[in-house]
Amino acid sequence: MIAKTPQAPYYAVIFTSLKNEKDDGYNETAIIMEELAKQQSGFLGLESARNQVGISVSYWISLEAIQKWKTNLDHIEAQQKGKSNWYKHYKVRIAKVERDYGI
């Protein structure tokens, strides 16, 4: 779904990843992390798609909310598994959404 975000400004975390071949609990963890993100204070929405590359964009009310989510203990554990087990490469970009439009 396209996230129903409020009027800009707000923040986006653009997470782009290349997975390796292993599943090894990946899908389960991805679903749990998505549910957990939605419960965080300051969470505004999430969009994700994967072909060769996976792109997940989460939207947040502030940098503080992003920082809190980054240091959530269950999320830290998932990030470590991501690095060691699932991702060949990834990039996280923290961005301030200055304006938006659409139909």
> From the list 36, 40, 54, 81, which residue makes contact with a copy of itself (rule: CB under 8 A)?
54
The dihedral through the CA atoms of 29, 34, 35, 38 has a sign that is positive
Contact 44, 83 (CB under 8 A): no
Q: Does 87 bind a copy of itself (CB under 8 A)?
A: yes
Q: Does 14 bind a copy of itself (CB under 8 A)?
A: yes
Q: Does 76 bind a copy of itself (CB under 8 A)?
A: no
> From the list 48, 62, 67, 71, which residue makes contact with a copy of itself (rule: CB under 8 A)?
48
Tell me the two tokens of residue 13.
Answer: 């975390």
* H or E element, residue 81: helix 73-81
Burial class (CB in 10 A: 0-12, 13-18, 19+), 27: exposed
Nearer to a copy of itself, 38 or 50 (CB): 50
Q: Does 93 bind a copy of itself (CB under 8 A)?
A: yes
Q: What's the min distance (Å) between Cβ of 11 and a copy of itself?
A: 8
